[in-house]
């Protein structure tokens, strides 16, 4: 069967189970757009900016575990994808980005809208392709989806010249993959697993640090089995949130720069640290030379490049977290570490980081907690970056994987709205809340049009403090309140929403927060709430730059609530 290159691409996408493409057309991809109506099972969602396409594909991937797909034309269309591709790369999100390229005869001649997108994205993709023959498209698609979704997931880019889309070739979709240089290790080395088990069994103060790799490998059940069997406290990285239910008695929240003080203290006191699917980035470790100073480290990760990169490891285990934990749990002795757990619990009582003080002012923490109470935790939360991100991580309890979606490694402002759209498209029966800062929201708010066009019922909470909040916080604490470039004027977001046909309300008083959230929840379409929150509220705890995890800053005394003033999840009382 002879088909045009565009048809071969569509046939391949269908065979890889693709249902949704987030894209924006242009000259070099017009042959593909001309072909799309022949394939009605491929739903194309027209974003308003290519960055939105990449973030939406990323949000779709994180919410579903499937490969997200985005599409752009050559030149500026392709370069506009770069931020989203980089975010997916740093956060191990499976994505295939398809770009058009100028016709083969014009490559290298500075043609209109020509850029070397494969060269540009080489450092931020797992692999990329420039396809020069239509007969190669089927093989490349098969390989791209395999690479994106296996091992440590990540983005793969396929760049296709315009004339290759119209060139005809014999179509035959490959059944097998032949990539001799790519063989991810799934099974951990048995000797290393036994060594890790001996270390854990002999530990008196072990701690588990769960990263995003736990969720990626669907190892949540195995993690829970390990924690309960050996009676080990669990803390998570930012992107590990949800990998272990936060209402569990062994859950002690997030570690790191804005992590819980008691989590950081537990890291400092631990004698064995079991790191699962995480990369020991600086936001988690703080000053790395003082990270877990008493602990012997077991590190399980599918990417061998991450083991020993930042933190010295005594027992390295390369493999899929789910597979390795399945084997490890068989070697783990039933433990009883009640004294250690009580010790960490006492730190939680002494450092009540998740408590919200009584205030007549509208505090952003109170907004997040109110969304938690309204949803009973049964929602997907997609955040921006900065203060809103940290409050969403701290004050909403996540009990299931894939319930917290955020740009971690890249920290891309503007991620939240298009990623929330992607998550809602991927999980149409879920309640999806986009928690945004007024700074990040303005970067991609044009995607409101996409949300309306797709009738996607995303709920949007803008934490409007009139500042680039996290940068302002640093200026306050470390630059003598020299607020340069951080006071932020913004439009009337309620009017903006109205212009897009989205119902919206502005909330300035604490006593109407819950009713506004209920109103949003009752809406069967998108809804926006502009929360005018306290302008100079800070995120605490905070580990200052260059400090160790033990050198955290807590909220000033007047900002701390009495221990009994806020109800915590039942199993954590």
DSSP states of 498-555 as a string? Answer: HHHT--EEEE-SGGGHHHHHHHHHH-SS-EEEEEE--TT---SSBPPTT--TTSPBPP
Q: How far apart, in whole angstroms, are the C-alpha atoms of residue 83 and residue 537?
A: 29
Burial class (CB in 10 A: 0-12, 13-18, 19+), 109: exposed
pLDDT grade for 568, boundaries at 50, 70 and 90:
very low
The arithmetic mean of pLDDT across residues 470-494, rounded, is 97
Same domain? 86 vs 137: yes
Q: Which residues pair with 22 in a beta bridge?
A: 45, 70
Strands 2-4 and 315-318: unpaired
Q: Which residues pair with 234 in a beta bridge?
A: 208, 251
The arithmetic mean of pLDDT across residues 268-275, rounded, is 98
pLDDT at position 306: 97
Distances (CA, A) of 16 to 39, 143, 173, 285: 14, 10, 11, 38
The arithmetic mean of pLDDT across residues 377-398, rounded, is 97
Q: For residue 319, what are the domain limits?
A: 190-350
State yes or no: pLDDT of 200 exceeds 80: yes
Same domain? 155 vs 203: no
Same domain? 163 vs 227: no
pLDDT at position 557: 64
Same domain? 370 vs 290: no
Q: How far apart, in whole angstroms, are the C-alpha atoms of residue 350 and residue 348?
A: 5
Residue 505 belongs to domain with CATH number: 3.40.50.970
In a domain, 555, yes or no: no
Largest CA distance in the chain: 74
Same domain? 53 vs 166: yes
- Measured N-to-C along each axis, helices 513-522 and 364-375 cross at an angle, to the nearest 10 degrees, of 40
Decide: 158 and 141 in contact? Cβ < 8 Å: yes
In this structure, of 7-16, 48-57, 350-359, the range with the lowest mean pLDDT score is 350-359
Q: Which of 142, 170, 198 is the last residue of a domain?
A: 170
Question: Residues in the chain, how many?
Answer: 573
State yes or no: pLDDT of 569 exceeds 80: no
State how many domains the chain has.
Answer: 3
The arithmetic mean of pLDDT across residues 185-191, rounded, is 97
pLDDT at position 490: 96
pLDDT at position 561: 45
- pLDDT tens readout for residues 132-185: 999 999 999 999 999 999 999 999 999 999 999 999 999 999 999 999 999 999
Q: How far apart, in whole angstroms, are the C-alpha atoms of residue 75 and residue 117?
A: 8
- Give percent of the chain with pLDDT exceeding 90: 96
In a domain, 549, yes or no: no
The arithmetic mean of pLDDT across residues 357-382, rounded, is 96
Helical spans, DSSP H, in 123-169: 137-149, 162-166
pLDDT grade for 335, boundaries at 50, 70 and 90:
confident
Same domain? 501 vs 380: yes
pLDDT at position 562: 40
Decide: 560 and 357 in contact? Cβ < 8 Å: yes
- Give percent of the chain with pLDDT exceeding 70: 97
The arithmetic mean of pLDDT across residues 279-287, rounded, is 96
> Nearest to residue 391, comparing CAs of 516, 296, 278, 254?
254
In a domain, 160, yes or no: yes
In this structure, of 8-17, 220-229, 398-407, 562-571, the range with the lowest mean pLDDT score is 562-571
- Measured N-to-C along each axis, helices 137-149 and 5-15 cross at an angle, to the nearest 10 degrees, of 30
In a domain, 561, yes or no: no
Query: Left (φ > 0), alpha (ψ -120 to 50) or beta: where does 483 sit?
Result: beta
Same domain? 476 vs 344: no
pLDDT at position 567: 37
Q: Which of 170, 198, 213 is the last residue of a domain?
A: 170
In a domain, 56, yes or no: yes
> Nearest to residue 67, comparing CAs of 143, 179, 159, 180?
143
Q: How far apart, in whole angstroms, are the C-alpha atoms of residue 70 and residue 59?
A: 11
In a domain, 184, yes or no: no
- pLDDT tens readout for residues 46-103: 999 999 999 999 999 999 999 999 999 999 999 999 999 999 999 999 999 999 999 9
Same domain? 235 vs 324: yes
Same domain? 39 vs 127: yes
pLDDT grade for 556, boundaries at 50, 70 and 90:
confident
In a domain, 546, yes or no: no
In a domain, 557, yes or no: no
SS (H, E, C) 279-337: CCCHHHHCCHHHCCCCCEEEEEECCHHHCCCCCCCCEEEECCHHHHHHHHHHHCCCCCC
Q: How far apart, in whole angstroms, are the C-alpha atoms of residue 441 and residue 417?
A: 7
Same domain? 234 vs 368: no
pLDDT at position 573: 27
């Amino acid at each position: 069967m002879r088909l045009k290159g565009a048809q071969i691409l569509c046939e391949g996408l269908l065979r890889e189970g693709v249902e949704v493409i987030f894209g924006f057309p242009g000259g070099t991809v017009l042959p593909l757009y001309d072909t799309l109506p022949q394939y009605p099972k491929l739903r194309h969602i027209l974003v308003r900016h290519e960055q939105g396409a990449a973030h939406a594909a990323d949000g779709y991937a994180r919410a579903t575990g499937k490969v997200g797909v985005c599409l752009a034309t050559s030149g500026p269309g392709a370069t506009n994808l770069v931020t989203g591709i980089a975010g997916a790369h740093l956060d191990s999100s499976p994505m295939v980005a398809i770009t058009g390229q100028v016709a083969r005869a014009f490559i290298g001649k500075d043609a209109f809208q020509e850029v070397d997108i494969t060269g540009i994205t080489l450092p931020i993709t797992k692999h990329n392709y420039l396809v020069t023959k239509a007969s190669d498209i089927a093989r490349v698609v098969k390989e791209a989806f395999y690479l994106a979704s296996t091992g440590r997931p990540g983005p793969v880019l396929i760049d296709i010249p315009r004339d290759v889309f119209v060139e005809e070739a014999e179509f035959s979709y490959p059944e097998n993959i032949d990539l001799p240089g790519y063989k991810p290790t799934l099974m951990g080395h048995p000797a290393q697993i036994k060594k890790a088990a001996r270390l854990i069994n002999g530990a008196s103060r072990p701690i588990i640090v769960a990263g995003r790799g736990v969720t990626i490998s669907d190892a949540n059940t195995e993690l829970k089995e390990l924690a309960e069997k050996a009676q080990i406290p669990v803390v998570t990285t930012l992107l590990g949130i949800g990998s272990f239910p936060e209402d569990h008695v062994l859950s002690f929240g997030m570690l790191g720069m804005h992590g819980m003080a008691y989590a950081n203290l537990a890291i400092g006191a631990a004698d064995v640290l079991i790191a699962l699917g995480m990369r020991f980035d600086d936001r988690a470790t703080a000053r790395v030379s003082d990270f877990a100073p008493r602990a012997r480290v077991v590190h399980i990760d599918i990417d061998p490049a991450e083991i020993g990169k930042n933190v010295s490891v005594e027992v390295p285990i390369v493999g899929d977290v789910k597979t390795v934990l399945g084997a490890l749990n068989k070697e783990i002795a039933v433990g009883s570490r009640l004294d250690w757990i009580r010790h960490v619990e006492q730190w939680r009582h002494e450092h009540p980081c998740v408590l919200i003080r009584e205030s007549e002012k509208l505090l952003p923490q109170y907004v997040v907690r109110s969304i938690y109470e309204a949803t009973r935790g049964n929602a997907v939360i997609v955040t921006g970056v900065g203060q809103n991100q940290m409050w969403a991580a701290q004050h909403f309890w996540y009990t299931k994987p894939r319930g917290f979606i955020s740009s971690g490694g890249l920290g891309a402002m503007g991620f939240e709205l298009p990623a929330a759209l992607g998550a809602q498209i991927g999980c149409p029966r879920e309640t999806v809340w986009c928690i945004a800062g007024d700074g990040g929201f303005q970067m991609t708010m044009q995607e409101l049009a996409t949300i309306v066009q797709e009738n996607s019922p995303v709920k949007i909470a803008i934490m409007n403090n009139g500042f680039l909040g996290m940068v302002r916080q640093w200026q306050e604490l470390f630059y003598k309140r020299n607020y340069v470039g951080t006071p932020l004027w913004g439009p009337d977001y309620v009017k903006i929403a109205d212009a897009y046909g989205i119902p919206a309300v502005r909330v300035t008083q604490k006593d109407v927060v819950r009713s506004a959230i209920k109103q949003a929840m009752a809406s069967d379409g998108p809804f926006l709430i502009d929360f005018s929150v306290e302008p100079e509220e800070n995120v605490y705890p905070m580990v200052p730059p260059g400090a160790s995890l033990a050198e955290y800053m807590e909220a000033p005394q007047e900002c701390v609530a009495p221990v009994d003033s806020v109800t915590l999840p039942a199993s954590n009382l």
